[in-house]
């Protein structure tokens, strides 16, 4: 079941985004590997924290116009998907913080991934 009503579209440079997720996730707790994305016009901010390691934050430019959205993901799952994307950019289709997100490879229209968010 692939969601079709996700109206918030974020497009990021795949390589830079994957590297930022990996760096931020290094401080997240080993159990949840949670990374929070704060998306707003023209940028995405990645946040992670844990009582043992402190917190980390990265900010990247991104193609996004729309209402701001905060959504969390398991960094492992996010990095697995980004590792499969072969094009230069990944496109995230989001509805809200509790609904499945659709990730597409901008360079390959046949590649579609569905990622469930998590509470962060």
What's the pLDDT tens digit per position in 31-41?
889 999 999 99
Q: Which residues fall within 8 angstroms of residue 44, CB to CB, at 6 or more apart?
A: 10, 12, 17, 37, 38, 59, 60, 62, 64
Indicate if the pLDDT at residue 15 is higher than 90: yes
What's the pLDDT tens digit per position in 43-56?
999 999 998 889 99
pLDDT of residue 53: 86
- Gap between the Cα atoms of 39 and 76, Å rounded: 20
pLDDT of residue 31: 80
What's the pLDDT tens digit per position in 80-117?
999 999 999 999 999 999 999 999 999 999 999 999 99
Q: What is the architecture, at CATH level 2, of domain 8-115?
A: Roll (3.10)
The residue extents of the domains of the chain are 8-115
């Amino acid at each position: 079941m692939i969601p079709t009503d996700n109206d918030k579209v974020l497009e990021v440079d795949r390589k830079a985004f994957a590297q930022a997720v990996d760096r931020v996730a290094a401080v997240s707790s080993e159990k949840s590997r949670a990374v929070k994305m704060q998306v707003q016009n023209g940028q995405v901010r990645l946040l992670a924290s844990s009582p043992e390691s402190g917190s980390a934050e990265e900010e990247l430019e991104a193609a996004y116009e729309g209402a701001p959205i905060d959504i969390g993901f398991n960094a492992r799952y996010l990095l697995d998907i980004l590792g499969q994307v072969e094009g230069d950019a990944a496109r995230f289709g989001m509805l809200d913080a509790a609904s499945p997100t659709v990730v597409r490879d901008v360079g390959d229209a046949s590649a579609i991934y569905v990622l469930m968010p998590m509470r962060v």
